[in-house]
Structure 1
Amino acid sequence: MGGRTLMYVAVYCGSLATVPQTYVDIAAEVGRQIAARGWNLVWGGGQTSMMGAVAREARAGGASTYGVIPKGLATREIADEDSTELHVVDTMRERKRMMDEKADAFLTLPGGIGTAEEFFEVWTAGVLGMHGKPVVLLDVDDHYKGLVAWLTELRDKGFVSHAALDSLVVTEDVSAALDACLR
């Protein structure tokens, strides 16, 4: 994709220690499957919770990890010094820009408001034609069921186009989510 021989998948996910272990395990599985496909990870550069699990497992399987973390979060999310490349930046906007530029696809795992904000930004940019990269939502355990229902309601009311909603891939399966990163 993008003329590159290597695939870089940006993963957005939860970083709080209070996240249930089942979600941390899902993030670890995503990391394992990224590595098994010979791909590389782009992520927020932290070691905590789901964020740390996806990176550790990707690296353990031989994937390169490209982390971008703002200075203000380097202590809170514990900057991952084991990353293949770790960029410490000044702002969240810089973080997102660098991740957007490096990634060939965007995969959103369960997360909170920060994850949702990152998801909405890349999905909106794709809908507006600012990039042509796949945007995938991994909806395990119906984590995003309410969000998807709301987006469907917005489409039905005319606030979201059919094309916009159709451009978003929503799946409950890790392998299917990663397959969708190639579309």
Structure 2
Amino acid sequence: MNIFVSCSSSDKISDEYKVVTRFLMENISKDNDLVFGCANRGLMGICYNEFLKNNRKITGVCYEMYKSDLEGLKLDEVHMVKTLEESNRFLEENADIILILPGAFGTLSEFIDILEHKRTKLHNKEMIIFNINGFYDDLINMFNKIYKKVSNDYDFNSLCKVFNTALDVTNYIEENN
């Protein structure tokens, strides 16, 4: 199964997220392949290295302006893009599961775009938020508030699974593999 992992590529991210991400990746990288954004830093680097250790297929998407990020990466396939839209469509189309880990604007952009595609039935792939130490609590509350007060044509919880432990994420992926 191809798992697109959307997450931080910054080395400045707190160790509390790195430790848990490494544990999760040690588990899910054994039987799955990685689709990701081509950085060997931050949580993204942890993901890349765990899949690499397990000799899994690694597919990357990379913006033309960040092609220097490809140096030193061992990828089975790389897809160069110019726009966010191209990147998101490639990631969405080439993944069986979309997994969201802590990240910043790039992660949020990918997540919200792909979530909207699921809401409008442009895909029906499993979407998972790994809510490490409550990282996404405020965002999840905002989505639930939107549902209750603005637009009740969908329920966020029907579009996306939220898990708080690496074991729950691992079990869910294994059950859907």
Describe the SS at the equivalent of 2:29.
Answer: helix
Separation of aligned partners in 1, 2:46 and 2:77 = 17
1:73 corresponds to 2:29: no
Distance 1:64 1:160, change over 3 A: farther
* Residue 141 of structure 2 is aligned to residue 176 of structure 1: no
Q: 1:99, 1:141 → 2: CA distance? A: 26
After superposition, give the CA deviation of every residue in 1:60-100 in whole Å (9 maximum; x if it has no partner): 0232111111111233xx22521222223222222222111
What corresponds to 1:4 in structure 2?
none
* 1:12 to partner: Cα distance: 0.2
Counterparts of residues 144-163 of structure 1 (less than 5 Å): 144-163=136-155
Quote the RMSD (CA, aligned, Å): 1.8
Using a 3 Å threshold, how does the CA distance of structure 1 residues 157 and 113 change in structure 2: closer, same or farther? same
Deviations for 1:130-149, whole angstroms, at most 9, x for unmatched residues? 00101111101110011111
In 1, Cα distance between equivalents of 2:74 and 2:131: 29
Matched pairs, number: 174
Q: Which residue number corresponds to residue 133 of structure 2?
A: 141
Query: Kindly, what percent of the aligned residue pairs are identical?
Result: 21
Aligned partner of 2:91 in structure 1 is 99
Gaps (5+ residues) in structure 1? 1-6
Q: Distance in 1 between matches of 2:100 and 2:153?
A: 21
1:122 aligns to 2:119 (yes or no): no
Consecutive aligned runs of 4 or more in structure 1 exceeding 4 Å deviation: none
1: distance between equivalents of 2:76 and 2:24? 18
Where does residue 56 of structure 2 map in the other structure?
Answer: 63
Deviations 1:111-170 (A, max 9, x none): 111101111111111111100101111101110011111111111103253444322101
What amino acid is the match of 1:20?
S
Conservation of the 8 A alpha-carbon contact between 1:66 and 1:86 = yes
SS of equivalent to 1:152: helix
Moved more, 11-20 or 85-94: 85-94
Amino acid at match of 1:153: K
The one-letter code of the counterpart of 1:144 is Y
Could you state the TM-score of these two structures normalised by the residue count of structure 2? 0.89
* Structure 2 unpaired stretches of 5+: none
Greater Cα shift, 89-98 or 11-20: 89-98
TM-score between both structures, scaled by the size of structure 1: 0.86
* Residues 3-14 of structure 1 aligned to structure 2 (within 5 Å): 7-14=1-8
Distance 1:128 1:180, change over 3 A: farther
Q: 1:160 to 1:30 in 2, by over 3 A?
A: farther
Which amino acid is the alignment partner of residue 94 of structure 1? Answer: E
SS in 1 for 2:125: coil
Task: Select between 83-92 and 43-52 the one with higher mean Cα deviation.
Answer: 83-92
